[in-house]
Structure 1
Amino acid sequence: MQVVQVAIPVPMYQVFDYRIESEDVGDIIACRVLVPFGPRKVVGIVMGHAEHAIVEEKKLKSVIEVLDSTPVCSASMRELGEWMSRYYHYPIGEVLHTLLPAALRKQASGKTKASVQTETMLYLSDEAKNIDDVDPRLSRSQKQRALFHFILASAEQKAPLSKVKDEFSASVVKAMIEKDLLIKREEELQVGDWKQSIQIADKPLANVDQSIAISSVNVSNGFDTFLIEGVTGSGKTEVYLQIIEPLLLEGKQILILVPEIGLTPQTVQRFEDRFGIPVGMLHSNLNDTERLTVWQQARDGNIGIVIGTRSSIFTELKNPGMIIVDEEHDESFKQQDNLKYHARDIAVYRAKQLNIPLVLGSATPSLESLHNAIEKKYKHLVLPNRAGSASMPSQRLMNIKGQQMQFGIAQGMLDKMREQLQAGNQVMVFVNRRGYAPALLCHQCGHVESCQRCDNPMTVHKSVNNLQCHRCADTRYLPKRCPECGSDDVDTFGVGTEQMQAGLEEIFAEYDTVRIDSDTVRGKGKLNRLLQDINQKKYQVLVGTQILSKGHHFPDVTLVLIVDVDSALFSADFRAPEKLAQLITQLSGRAGRSGKAGEMWLQTHCPEHPLLQDLINNGYSDFARYALLERKHAGLPPYEHQICIRSESHKKGLAMDFLKICADTFTQFQHAKVLGPFPAFIEKRQGRFRFVLIVQSPSRNYLQKITEQANFGLQTLAISRQVRWSIDVSPIDFS
């Protein structure tokens, strides 16, 4: 018999002792085990052997089953997990389970093995191979017909389900299977040697700035962090392609992080076209089995490039060569729930741990990364010009004070849009609100339809005839009369993407309009298909939210309009100017990318605002350096470091009382500044009142040390079990 220490995914800062009856299980350090925990059976990870058990060995519970014959976590990943547990003040069991693919965390009692690689394949049935018989049967379903021809054109008339789901929805696949036209089979994954099959396609000649960046990275030896600050359209992706080429030829693997699922397919396609090898994708639209397969391929060295979103930073690589974080400034790299890690910061730790280069790229670097570059912690590489013949778009302000407006757009702006459309170009309109309108109000009594759980106006969605709360997702029918006074004089207030689309379709009836927001891009491959349609000029007017700002290439867009920026100019969040400047610059970069002159317009009631004037006249780079100077004088990040303690409860006083105790605890430390507690920017959500406390210090190490001490004490308080609370290290917002 032996006693092992097991990390279990529960909110407790400890490991648990279990006994193993059998003596012939071998070394199971870092293997998964199924163990009893209270009334449940849970999957844990063995951390080591217990030299001295807390209770008598015979009283210990026994491991039910050892799930792995080899470690599921390498030594470096265990080290990463232990560091994250300390740095983010989070239970080790929950951290380690975050590092694993979801399929390996489940209570499958050995059904899901870390070492088995399978793939679901779709075959044409014998019945489907007669095209003349099948085509008429699918005449009423264009999508099913397209899927049929997609597989018919593939090698051996079969295709991986993971590839099919990038283009077609699950319902289309299911319908084809029910018609006996497709057959689904689970097959052991056949992996070729990607190192022998690399075929490098023709590449463009790098310009001077790109060449300097490429050579600077390629001469590095071991760990180094490079910040590539390149204006939109400067060819950062081409730099990535050329710096990883020699590493791939050496058989080394590359991990690339992108901020959004929507960017993954187009990025994957570009890398596959250049190197002629399959690229692994990791994002939330894949199911657990698909993500596990890519994880296994990367760990076993059977795939050369992995491209994924935030959590892909935890992908194991057998022969790591480089990590790249594209659009490193993007907020989506920060996990806001549970373990609040930042993928960019984890990338720095992993690159140092693996002794490989890290490349951060952005047209609008975060002030933290820019500060590190100025302090010489990062090597700063600048791409100041657009690639090829493209020129930077002009940026202008439209003063809308006193102007006649249609659907939130000034008449003068509509005239400029029509000029571009008549010239055969495309125009983009950015609206930072999805839905038809942000509120529904009664003109008689002033009542606003609000979510009772969040005290927040509900958004009107006319396409589905309901009201939705964008905080808790609650819905209700769209009322025809005011529920307070009974008046039928109810109307919408404000403009959302849905109303903007309807309005522009009315104004520009001779042109086709498309809306890109989270309501319209749901479904497998929907966003990718819409982006392809835009680039094929099936649509001339593009309306959308921030999804449109994320690195997409629209060669025929020559005018970008940002409808309303004023709300962001007066935010209480000290990061709001940085976020607004990044958004404006990224959106501006969608215009004039292929030799055509581009222009970007901002509609505002405050054209004299210094932030807008600085950004329009001097660009993001100048703005960012001035913003850093402001942060320095104000004693704000990145010059000082913060942790944020959040507390929420159905009882307003209870959440506040807990943070008052936290404030008293931190006030005892001499070199810490305590701010708050105060209401979160979103004070109520899902019926819970929410408050925050900020603790700040010039020393990161000191802040970490006192937070660890305070956390230990707070865990023992009775009130800590009556509220929901969390610690956020280096918070990026206070909502």
Structure 2
Amino acid sequence: MTTAPDPDAQTRVAVAVETPQHSGVNATLDYLSEQPLAPGTMVRVPLGKRTVLGIVWPAAAGEAPEASLRPVTEVLDGLPALPEAWCRLVTFASGYYQRSIGELALAVLPPELHKLDRAGFAQRLARLRKALDSARPAAAADTPPPPSEAQATLLGQLAALEPGRTVLLHGVTGSGKTEVYLRAAEATLAAGRQVLVLVPEINLTPQLEARFAARFAGRRLVTLHSALTPVQRLRHWLTAQLGEADLVLGTRMAVFAPLPRLGLVVVDEEHDPSYKQQEGARYSARDLAVYRGRLEQATVLLGSATPSLESWQRAQDGRYLKLALPQRIGGGSLPRVRLVDMSQQPRQTTIAAPLVEAIRERIARGEQSLVFLNRRGYAPVLHCTDCGWKSGCPHCSAWRVFHKLDRSLRCHHCGLAERVPRACPECGNLDIAPIGRGTERLEEQLAGLLAGPDGRAVRIARIDADSTRGKGALEARLDSVHAGDVDVLVGTQMVTKGHDFRRITLVAAVAPDAALFSSDFRAAERLFALLMQAAGRAGRDADQAAASEMWVQTWHPRHPLYEALRRHDFEAFAASQLRERESAGLPPFSHLAMLRADAKTAAAAREFLEAAAATAEPLDSAAAVTLYPPVPLTVARVADVERLQMLVECAARPALQRFLAEWLPQLIALRRRSGHAILRWAVDVDPLSI
């Protein structure tokens, strides 16, 4: 006979478990523990018929245990409790982004941790401690180059800052921002504190990791990103949590790395949209980095040649300290921008003759060129010239892209892939042709245009999501570019930012105009940043900088965006955009949230959103917000799921937060009443696209 636990001999603990906000379960659940457990302690607890990982959470003290509470199954001891500041960071993020504490807290832990019981966890921890003790980092670190006068002045300003300040480092491409990061990290480590470095994309991690590893050869550096194996990610996370990692370098997930002595957070390319999570808890790693810096009295360094307008405005208002590196290292000049007016080119021109000739000249001099197009595949769509059939996706409101290399039609939204039909599926016409072009077709066109008179092939490499799918493929292609084994590099935006290509003297954007007339108010900002970053790949060797060029093929050469680009004038572009945003009441002069609904039919999604708007009307906080009518997303249907969204706008961030907190219980109740008509719904705070 099992004896019931004596509540008087046990302690009541609040535990965060992974239950979604939409389930309506409270933020934490109460359990009985045989011993007091510090907040941040990891435990295994019963949840329904399962035993799940949980985290003891800070809670109000003084509540008496109840016999009906279930006991904690296991305590994963041997590891220090997660820091109090980490719990506070998660609590803030869960409230701000309208997710449950448990959902967020457990989602940012390594997946492998969820699988381990106490014994398995103890074994992993013992092996890690043994490995750490036997593999202390050693070999001498690289000797740093002397800082430029501008870098030395800036570093002095950083050293004089009070803890917890946020700094916006606005430095042109090639101005030595990375060296500032390295020296700021050196000062932080010398003070006995840890450094967190965030990068926007995985493909930038190895390059920056190599720079930091070489400079800090005697220090322990770990990475955190989704390309790691589950075992690697757990090992690196535990190394950070134990306080053994001096530096953590990673993508947006790394903002939640547990670092007990955090002293510096670097956010490289802080403007990049990749810092915003697009699924689950839709958090911004950049914004959470700023909050975490204030919370833990750590300096936050936001670096970019093209800062986000939100960060720029905060610097203008004095909330961030703005520091600048306006010149390239060694006095090199920024590339000359040449605008090619496509309306003056012969009809059907894909790559203008003057641009082809300029690339030929580079090849003859042993220099490299980069040509980018932000669309992969061979062509966006196949088309029948007889009946008008196009290669649409049967499951999405999007075209299937033609990939010539493997003769496939692929939907880049749902993943459907099929062989290219031998004839038109509608009328049987054998003459089906590609419309438009992607990087695969651009590579083919350049090979034909640049071939020598004797037919000698030009060395062209393509870098995009298709060509670098295999393990090590990206690194191999980048190595060939750095080694000088490539004449022309073709790629998507993957190759336009962060890379230090020393031999590239010409960069060309062949079809950037589409973003000029997008309905998304941030499209112009993203295009300008992309083009400025791309231009920055040219002339990074000071000896070649004077001859470097950025070519832009456009049908609108007099557009103000291109005029600002021609002058490399970010400040003028930002001022113009901010004036437009302020007059239109758009961020950063207002604050947005988006309610999105997915359903089997558009009618069901619309009905849910309209009912959600109706539930908002009687709320006290609703007077401060504006709810707009539901509209479909740009790609309205993906994998046979219809997607609609409703914009919420508010003049003040606190008022928006009050409204969302009051509205969320109404949405949870509404979802329950909707039954299976709604597949998913989510609130996106500070959405990047509308």
TM-score by shorter chain over 0.5: yes
Q: Which amino acid aligns with 1:365?
A: P
CA separation in 1, counterparts of 2:63 and 2:668? 23
Counterpart CA distance in 2 for 1:26 and 1:663 is: 45
Q: Match for residue 318 of structure 2? A: 376
Q: CA offsets, 1:123-159, max 9 Å, x none?
A: xxxxxxxxxxxxxxxxxxxxxxxxxxxxxxxxxxxxx
Q: Is the 8 A contact 2:193 2:263 kept in 1?
A: yes
Pairs within 5 Å for 1:404-415: 404=346, 408-415=350-357
What residue is the counterpart of 1:36 in the other structure? 46
Secondary structure of the residue aligned to 1:434 is: coil
Give the residue type in structure 1 aligned to 2:200.
P
Find the aligned partners of 1:681 and 1:27 in 2 and give their Cα distance: 49
CA contact (8 A) 2:28 2:57 kept: no
Q: Is the 8 A contact 1:34 1:107 kept in 2?
A: no
Within the alignment, does 1:340 sit opposite 2:349 as a pair?
Answer: no
State the 1:712 CA deviation: 1.5
1:154 — aligned with what?
none
Instruction: Give how far 1:416 is off.
Output: 1.6
Indicate whether 1:423 and 2:380 are aligned.
no
- Asked if 1 retains the 8 angstrom alpha-carbon contact of 2:27 and 2:100, the reply is no
**Which residue of the partner structure matches residue 27 of structure 1?**
37
Is 1:349 matched with 2:291? yes
Partner of 1:241: 182
- CA gap 1:47/1:529 in 2 versus in 1, 3 angstroms: same
**CA RMSD in angstroms, aligned pairs only:** 2.4
Cross-structure match for 1:613: 563
Amino acid in the other structure paired with 2:192: G
Distance 1:32 1:483, change over 3 A: same
Distance 1:579 1:371 in 2: 16
- What letter matches 2:533 in structure 1? Q
| Distance in 2 between residues matched to 1:77 and 1:371, nearest whole Å | 28
One-letter identity of the residue aligned with 1:562? A
Q: Matched residues in 1 for 2:187 and 2:41: separation?
A: 35
Q: CA deviation at 1:515?
A: 0.4
The match for 1:725 is 681
Counterpart selection for 1:490 from 432, 441, 463: 432
Query: Aligned residue for 1:10?
Result: 19
Q: Are the aligned partners of 1:235 and 1:387 in contact in 2 as well (CA < 8 Å)? A: yes
1:659 equivalenced with 2:606 (yes/no): no
Correspondence 1:174-323 to 2 at 5 A? 188-190=131-133, 199-277=140-218, 278-323=220-265
Partners of 1:110 and 1:450 in 2: how far apart? 53
Deviations 1:676-697 (CA, angstroms, capped at 9, x unpaired)? 2111122111111111111111
Matched, 1:78 2:28: no
Partner of 2:531: 584
> Shift of residue 58 of structure 1?
4.8
Alpha-carbon spacing, 1:340–1:617, altered in 2? closer, same or farther (3 Å) = same
> Do the aligned residues in 2 keep the contact of 1:118 with 1:293 (CA within 8 Å)?
no
Give the 3 Å change call, closer, same or farther, for CA 117–467 of structure 1 in structure 2.
farther
Deviations 1:365-406 (A, max 9, x none): 000000000000000011111111421001121111252478
**Residues 82 and 241, structure 2, Cα contact 8 Å, conserved in 1:** no
Contact 2:78 2:122 in 1 (8 A): no
The one-letter amino acid paired with 2:26 is Q
Q: CA separation of 1:275/1:107 partners in 2, compared to 1, >3 Å: closer, same or farther?
A: closer
Q: 2:56 aligns with which of 46, 54, 57?
A: 46
Say if 1:388 and 1:690 are closer, same or farther in 2 by CA, change over 3 A: same
The answer to whether the Cα contact below 8 Å between 1:32 and 1:45 also exists between their aligned partners in 2 is yes
Helix, strand or coil at the partner of 1:612: helix
Q: Is the 8 A contact 1:201 1:275 kept in 2?
A: yes
Relative to structure 1, the CA distance from residue 234 to residue 720 in structure 2 (aligned partners, 3 Å threshold; closer, same or farther) is: farther
Q: Distance in 2 between matches of 1:10 and 1:477?
A: 42
Q: 2: distance between equivalents of 1:231 and 1:379?
A: 17
Q: Is the 8 A contact 2:599 2:642 kept in 1?
A: yes
Q: Secondary structure at the match of 1:515?
A: strand
Listed one character per residue, the Cα deviations across residues 13-55 of structure 1 (whole Å, up to 9, x for unaligned) are 41464654x73x452643333333334332222336798999x
* 2-structure distance, mates of 1:537, 1:15: 56
Do the aligned partners of 2:423 and 2:429 also contact (CA within 8 Å) in 1?
A: yes
Contact 2:341–2:553 under 8 Å retained in 1:
yes
Residues 58, 243 of structure 1: alpha-carbon distance in 2 compared, 3 angstrom cutoff: closer
What one-letter code is carried by the residue in structure 2 that aligns with 1:630? E
Structure 1, 559-568 or 716-725: larger mean CA deviation: 716-725
Deviations 1:496-544 (A, max 9, x none): 1111112222333432100000111223332222212101111111000
TM-score under structure 1 normalisation? 0.86
Give the aligned partner of residue 463 of structure 2: 516
| Number of the residue aligned with 2:655 | 702
Counterpart of 2:505, as a letter, is T
Aligned partner of 2:624 among 653, 657, 671: 671
**For residue 397 of structure 1, what is the aligned residue in structure 2?**
339
Cα deviations by residue, 1:576-623 (Å, 9 ceiling, x for unpaired): 010010001000111111021211111111222232223324522210
Count of residue correspondences? 663
Give, in whole Å, the separation in 2 of the partners of 1:529 and 1:324.
28
Map 1:120-159 to 2 at 5 A: none
2:379/2:403 contact within 8 Å kept: yes
The residue number in structure 2 matching 1:625 is 575
Query: Displacement, 1:671?
Result: 1.9
The structural deviation recorded for 1:287 is 1.1
Three-state SS of the structure 2 residue aligned to 1:457 is coil
Partner Cα distance (1:340, 1:396) in 2: 39
1:136 is matched with which residue? Answer: none
Q: Which residue of 1 aligns with 2:644?
A: 691
* 8 A contact 1:321–1:356 mirrored in 2: yes
- After superposition, the Cα gap between the structure-2 partners of 1:282 and 1:586, relative to the gap in structure 1 and judged at 3 Å, is same
* Cα 1:17/1:267, change in 2 over 3 Å: closer
Secondary structure of 1:643's partner? strand
Return the alpha-carbon distance in structure 2 between the equivalents of residues 218 and 105 of structure 1.
41
The separation in 2 between residues aligned to 1:213 and 1:391, in whole angstroms, is 21
Which structure 1 residue ranges, 5 or more long, are not aligned? 120-185
Query: Which residue pairs with 1:183 in the alignment?
Result: none
Task: Return closer, same or farther for 1:732/1:664 CA change in 2, 3 Å cut-off.
Answer: same
Matching residue's letter, 1:271? F
Structure 2 CA distance for partners of 1:319 and 1:7, relative to 1, 3 Å: closer
Q: 1:27 to 1:714 in 2, by over 3 A?
A: same
Distance 1:582 1:719, change over 3 A: farther
Q: Match for residue 273 of structure 2? A: 331
Q: Single out whichever of 621-630 and 324-333 deviates more from structure 2.
A: 621-630
- Alpha-carbon deviation of 1:57? 4.5
Contact 1:554/1:593 (8 A) holds in 2:
yes
Question: Is 1:711–2:661 an aligned residue pair?
Answer: no
The alpha-carbon distance between structure 1 residues 444 and 202, as it changes in their structure 2 partners (threshold 3 A), is same
Report how far residue 114 of structure 1 moved.
9.5
Asked if 2 retains the 8 angstrom alpha-carbon contact of 1:104 and 1:113, the reply is no
Q: Taking structure 1 as reference, are residues 279 and 33 closer, same or farther at Cα in structure 2, changes over 3 Å only? A: closer
1:440–1:493 CA contact under 8 A, matched in 2: yes
Q: Secondary structure of 2:371's partner?
A: strand
| Alpha-carbon distance, 1:667 to partner | 4.7
Structure 2, unpaired ranges of 5+: 452-456
Q: Give me the whole-angstrom Cα distance separating, in 2, the residues matched to 1:353 and 1:106.
A: 31
One-letter code of the match for 1:637? Answer: P
Q: CA deviation at 1:257?
A: 0.4
Match of 1:528 among 442, 462, 475: 475
